[in-house]
Structure 1
Amino acid sequence: MLESVVKPDAVPFVAILSACSYVGMIDRGLQIFGSMESEYRIPPTPEHYCCIVNMLGRIGRVIEANEFVKNLGNEGNAVGIWGSLLGACRILEELELEKVVAKKLLTLNDGSGMVGYHVLLSNIYADRGMWKSVNGVWKDMRNEGLRKESGCSWIEVGGTVNRFTAKEKKHRQSDMIYAKLENLSMDMKIAGYRPIARYIVDDTSESED
């Protein structure tokens, strides 16, 4: 863009910072971020701040990411920014910081109707076997009238769209599909495959206090 004398706006900087994050070019990414205002007079947006938090979190500099967000002041009071920080905390198992970030995030998320961060928080607690806290998150969701929507996948065969969700048995060939999946599961076990144990939490498995 610069060689073509095209003045960049805020959008390409999001792409560039994301790319720096994925390939681990942290110093270069921070340099480019700093140049937004100093060279191009482009004020950063929450999307750019999210990129920086992701960038630092990916290489384990989560404490630095937390300081970065706190130093943003009111500009940092965006759900996406704190959500990125919470995701980094989860990967690095920073439990104490997770609690602080989660509390702030749920405060920002209050009344927004978004359930994603509630689910993320419940999964973080479940990873550590904190089932009372898991149930507390799901109770808060119920009290707010929130519900996690089931993910789905679909495939078109012969002009017909076949839609699938977890535990679904409405498909006309569901018996055959589940039988095939069972056979595949047995073949994988025989071949020596062992799944990585992770807690998976949803509102169908929630227990009551």
Structure 2
Amino acid sequence: MQTILYARVSTTDQTIAHQRTQAEAAGFKVDEVVSDEGVSGFTTTLKDRPQGRRLFDMLRRGDTLVVRWVDRLGRNYADVCDTIREMMRWGVIVRTVINNLTFDGVTKDPMQQAVRDALIGFMAATAQAQAEATKEAQRGGIDHARGREEAYRGRKPSFRRDQFDDVRGALGQGTGVSEVATATGLSRQTIYRIRDNPAEAEAALARWA
């Protein structure tokens, strides 16, 4: 029987070594570490990861699988639940470093099984909810940054530098607004803005260069 630590990191601010240190500090005697680096637990199931597949090949009845928390197995509710239940059917004990939880298939009492399965489901759902909240926050941060950029730089010009030069040249030769709009593919409103305030139009191009 062996104790295997499965570690997964998806960002550069996480490390495999830290997860092993945490496990050993909690009293686990780790025989081997299996790890996936730079892999999302939200978009990939455990069996889809290179070392995740290896983990399924290695584990045998009586072995203990240690994870920092269930989110290392994954951040997909169905995948995490299925993984832990499959391990228990094999006779593998799943333990977490955080909260020191143990999941096994030893108990035959239906009430204890119900409590155990409910806890697995709750933890798996929490892992997915945290991943979704993080992604939503990231999207919000990106949108906010874009909004700040647009507020600082103003509205992006609807014309290019070459079009601006063509408009200025044509207007300078006395060409009418409608004719210039047709020739450059710009709207009449845009031609009027360039004609009436060429300095601001040119400044906008400079800000968005």
TM-score by length of 1: 0.27
The structure carrying a bigger strand percent of its residues is 2
TM-score normalised by the chain length of structure 2 = 0.27
Higher relative contact order (CA 8 A, sep 6+): 2
